[in-house]
Structure 1
Amino acid sequence: MAKTNPAQFIQQTRAEVSKVVWPTRREVLLTTGMVFALSAVAALFFSLVDLIFRNGLQAIFTYFG
């Protein structure tokens, strides 16, 4: 692997950073909203599953207890 000096490294790094396509403000807000919405849906789903398991186990323990 060829070694590069610090000046070449900085030049190559700047060249690569200039190729990055940054998201627009609208895209950032849209994806952030989707993350919050899907997190809420996942939290609701797992809360309901937990409630079902808890009630089921409580019924089983009450029946056999």
Structure 2
Amino acid sequence: MAEREAAPRRNLLQRIVNYFREARAELSRVTWPTREEIIGSTQVVLIFAVVAMVALGLIDTVFRLLTTAINR
């Protein structure tokens, strides 16, 4: 009975080890972005966030003024 329990555990351990080996092999094939690409992408995201913030702020202000005018 002890032999039956040991085999699945060994199999599970082997599968876990195999998973990490495959993950490491896959990560070695990844083409990582350069520092300049990361900086450029970050700048694009920040600019887009600021533009979206301003646009939503303006839309909010317009709707606030409209609802205030209607409620008078």
Q: TM-score range by the shorter chain?
A: 0.7 to 0.9
Query: What's the RMSD between the two structures over aligned residues?
Result: 1.7
Q: Using structure 2 for the length normalisation, give the TM-score.
A: 0.73
Runs of 4+ aligned structure 1 residues displaced above 4 Å come to: none
Q: What aligned pairs does 1:6-25 form with structure 2 within 5 A after superposition?
A: 6-25=16-35
Q: Using structure 1 for the length normalisation, give the TM-score.
A: 0.80
Query: Is the partner of 1:40 in helix, strand or coil?
Result: helix
**Percent identity between the two aligned chains:** 33
Aligned length: 60
Task: From the CA coordinates, give the structure whose radius of gyration is larger.
Answer: 2
Structure 2 unmatched runs, 5+: 1-11
Structure 1 unmatched runs, 5+: none
